[in-house]
A = this chain, B = another copy of it.
């Protein structure tokens, strides 16, 4: 730990933030590990806990650490690679990287198709559509949430199956769809709003990847239109074009 230079023109919290950042960059605080408590760090630097919190806040804002109330402050891990391919499955991909995937169904309801959805799924305007809201986690950390839309008339039971099985692939199988593939993916970016912040346990205004996609069955008929919001500092998309 370097000396703090009071009155040097650089605020104390900034010096501390840079110090901690160097510690993280050089692996003295490992990715995924918990930082010492705020009280301990404040003691170490010889500053008030408020000052230290300001430093932590700056690091969290840049996505280097994540503060969890009641638990601690954790060093963020390197972003996960998520391939975009015709047959990529979330669970398989995550397991292949020796991590533990998870999925939670947050909401399930039937709504009328909006223009976008009706167009993608080739349904009549305002036809019944099953809307599932899910959160995907890796090692318990939310990485993405999705707004899933399927034909309500044909696949109204998808939500029930998903809730029981915890995997979308399995839920589709239970609905009699044994195979599906990704037809197209549209990738944009935006800033996390209140909902993103809540679903991804992330601060507002952090960058999110906004990914629209269409899955089709073996015959090419549209099955599922999804808009996913991915925490950009936890996930990165990989496209192979060989």
Contact = CB atoms under 8 A, between A and B. Distances in A.
A183 B242 contact: yes
A84 B232 contact: no
Interface string A202-230: 00011111000000000000000000000
Interface stretch (A8-16, A17-25, A89-97, A187-195): A187-195
Interface in A43-88: 79, 81, 84-86
A238 B86 contact: no
A186 B237 contact: yes
B189 A242 contact: no
A241 B209 contact: no
Copies in the complex: 2
Contacts of A238: 184-187
Most chain B C-beta atoms within 10 Å of own C-beta, residue among A205, A236, A237: A237
A217 to B, nearest CB: 14
A239 B239 contact: yes
Contacts of A242: 86, 183
A189 B189 contact: yes
A26 interface: no
Given A85-B241, A241-B84, A241-B181, A207 B187 contact: no
Nearest to A188: B236
Nearest to A236: B188
Contacts of A209: 187-189, 209
A76 B24 CA distance: 40
Nearest to A181: B241
B237 A187 contact: yes
Contacts of A190: 207, 232
B84 A189 contact: no
A232 B189 contact: yes
Contacts of A181: 241
A149 interface: no
Contact of A205 (B189, B205, B239, B240): B205
